[in-house]
Each structure stands twice: as C-alpha cells, then as structure tokens.
C-alpha cells in the first residue's frame, strides 16, 4: 500500500459503545477527545491515531486495541 493511499482498518467504536451502553458524548468527556474527532474515528475517516488517544479509549471502554480495530483485506471484498 502506498503512503497516503486509503487504509483498510475498520474501527468498531460504535459496537463497543453499544455493548457498554455508552454514548459518544459520555466517551468524549471520559477520554478528553472532542466528539468531532471521535466521530471521525468512528466513521473510519481518521488517518492516524495517537497512542495516548488509544490508551484513553482502551481505559474508558475496558478493551484491547484489537477489540477497537481490525484489518479488512480489501482484495477479498
């Protein structure tokens, strides 16, 4: 994959939020990331995620990074 090309990482933030009965607003307040940025992450429009953001999300959602995101093989779709 070339640098700057579309990525194939899926973020499962909506599923984790639903499982824990949390809203995006609550998560935003807990991790200190704006709703706008969380929406970008949730909708797969983020290009990168900081380790600090990932740590805060994992703490708030009590999950592993692997629960939060997965790789989708675009060629098999």
Partner 1 sequence: MGLQLGAIELPGTRRTITQPLGGTVWLFLRLTLLGLVLPPLLGLLNGGRPDLYGFGSGNVCATVTINGLAESGSQPVAQLRSGMSSAPGNVWLCANHPTLAQRFLVTLTQLPMALLWLTVLILLWRLVSQVRRTGPFDATVTRRLRFLAWFVLAATLAANALQSYAAAAFTATGYPRPLPGLVGLDQIPVPIGQDTINGVLGTSWTPLLLVVCGLLSLARIVRVGGQLHDDLVGTV
C-beta closer to partner 1: residue 4 or 21: 4
Q: How far is CA 59 from CA 34, 54, 76, in A?
A: 17, 9, 33
Least Cα distance to 67 among 20, 7, 1 occurs for 20
Tell the smallest beta-carbon distance from residue 18 to partner 1 (Å).
Answer: 20
Give how many residues touch partner 1 by CB under 8 A. 14
Tell which positions 16-45 bind partner 1, by CB under 8 A: 33, 37-38, 40-41, 45
Q: Which of the 8 DSSP states describes residue 4?
A: T
Tell the smallest beta-carbon distance from residue 45 to partner 1 (Å).
Answer: 7
């Amino acid at each position: 994959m070339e640098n700057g090309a579309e990525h194939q990482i899926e973020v499962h933030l909506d599923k984790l939020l639903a499982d824990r009965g949390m809203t995006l607003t609550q998560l935003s307040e807990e991790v200190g990331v704006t709703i706008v940025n969380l929406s970008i992450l949730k909708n797969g429009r983020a290009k990168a995620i900081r380790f600090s953001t990932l740590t805060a999300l994992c703490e708030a959602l009590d999950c592993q990074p692997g629960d939060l995101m997965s790789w989708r093989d675009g060629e098999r779709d």
